[in-house]
Amino acid sequence: MPFVTDSSKMKFFLFTLLLFCAISVYGQRSASLNKGQKDSIQLKEDTLSLLARGFFVSELQDDRLYACRQFIPALVRTLKVTNSFQYSFPRLENISITYAPDSSFRIFTWQLKVDDGDYRYYGALQWNQPSIKLIPLLDRSGTINSLTPGLTADNWYGVVYYAIKSFKSNKSDAYLLFGYDSYSPDESRKIIDVLYFDKGKPYFGKPVFVFDKGPAKSRIIYQYKKDAAIRVNYDEDEKMIICDHLIENSAALDGQTKVMVPDGSYEGFKLNKDKWVYVENVFPSNSPENQRALRTKPKVVIEKK
């Protein structure tokens, strides 16, 4: 039975997340783990690692679904250990854990392969405090576009995050979130989203990406050929977001859908006050800076076969 039409399974996932993700009030930052706390987490990490491997490598859809279903409450029970924020989960493969630059929070994200080219994303945001403050992130990416602002945690554009960059927006802290989405059999996506907080509640998407024409965008979505490697990240040397410029694949065969591929040049966004302003051509094509960018282009590999 196709996963996307199985509402009972989806409701189970949402119920599990909301049931087990305990929300507590803000408090002081977490302290170092003592031996007992560390031992307790490491014991639970063994189970988490097995379950995470299960929903990544199991060949049967039902097995992957079962492993993910068991992983969610197991993760929450582990994070309920006092000062768990201080544990980095070094053996927890296939789960991305990204930290705010000031370590005020971290985000767990992972993907579940439903079928070939069909993925679901899961996540949770944990605050840095002794007792648990954890909010589940519920994937609704099918209804979200680049203009949709102010989404709550239960309307999240589901991806696996690989980087976070802080900046100021209206004199308040905000964060660029860089994520990967396997998306479809032929195409992948990389997303630049914005996270900010209002009265302690997280929101995603803010109209801070400004172009010469058209409305400001709340997030940037790059959709490209599946086997292409593209750069979408903040560059500390250049002090700006640098992204591959994409063009239609002119080599596509007759009858094939054309997809976007990098052309060897770079575009980006530079912070101006509290807006990220589009820069059409970051480097001249043959400049040393462009060659450096090509050499250091990172590859984010999420999908496991």
Query: Residue 302 has what pLDDT?
Result: 47
Distances in Å between the alpha carbon of 26 and those of 35, 91, 172, 203?
25, 29, 18, 17
pLDDT at 96: 97
- The DSSP line for 93-134 is TT-EEEE-TTSSEEEEEEEEEEETTEEEEEEEEEESSSS--E
Q: Is the pTM of this model over 0.75?
A: yes
**Residue pair 195/155 in contact by the 8 Å Cβ criterion:** no
Q: What is the pLDDT of residue 150?
A: 95
Digits of tens for pLDDT over the chain (305 positions)?
333 445 435 544 554 555 454 455 456 788 899 999 999 999 999 999 999 999 988 999 999 999 999 999 999 999 999 999 999 999 998 899 999 999 999 999 999 998 887 899 999 999 999 999 999 999 999 899 999 999 999 999 999 999 999 999 988 999 999 999 999 999 999 999 999 999 999 999 999 999 999 999 999 999 999 989 999 999 999 999 999 999 998 755 555 677 999 999 999 999 999 999 999 999 865 566 665 665 555 544 444 43
Distance of CA 117 to the CA centre of its chain: 18
The pLDDT, as a whole number, for residue 118 is 85
Report the distance separating Cα 28 and Cα 8, nearest Å: 39
Between the two ends of the chain, the Cα-to-Cα distance in Å is: 22
Neighbours of 16 (CB within 10 A): 18
Q: How many CB atoms lie within 10 A of CB 11?
A: 10
> Is 45 in a helix, a strand, or coil?
helix
